[in-house]
Amino acid sequence: MSFSNKVLNINQLFTNCHSKEEIYNTIIELGRNSEAFSDQDKVEANLVRGCQSTMYLRSWAKDGSIYFQAWSDALISAGLAQLLILAYTGETPEVILKEPPNFLDELDIPSSLTPNRINGLSQIHLKMKQEALKHISSL
């Protein structure tokens, strides 16, 4: 599925959200439904710095694409990571590096977050781009 189609699917998740509280609840639900994350992947190298909560992001390359998985001790942070994972997992490093998460602004997600959460979201995206750069040489 293309990045554009993934963004359309993400937009669908929020079509019935008519308030900041509904947006926030949808993000929390995404966090609640995150994939299981192994304790052995909760290592310094996977730590996302700058998040208000503890956040780990692991990545791996397969067939020219990068895949992500995240864990956080806060559901809202886990949900924010899931939004980015839904968009960027399975994409090439070039797409991850060149496509900003403008869909978040279009969904008005930053206005539903505190400044610390917005910073954490930016840090998650930055970590994804750093991981994409690391994997370019291994692909």
- CA proximity to 66, closest of 47, 83, 91: 91
Residues 6 or more apart whose Cβ sits within 8 Å of residue 99: 3, 87, 88, 91
From 7, 23, 27, 51, active-site residue: 51
Q: Does 17 qualify as catalytic in the annotation?
A: no
Cβ contact 47:55 at 8 Å = yes
Q: Which residues are catalytic?
A: 51
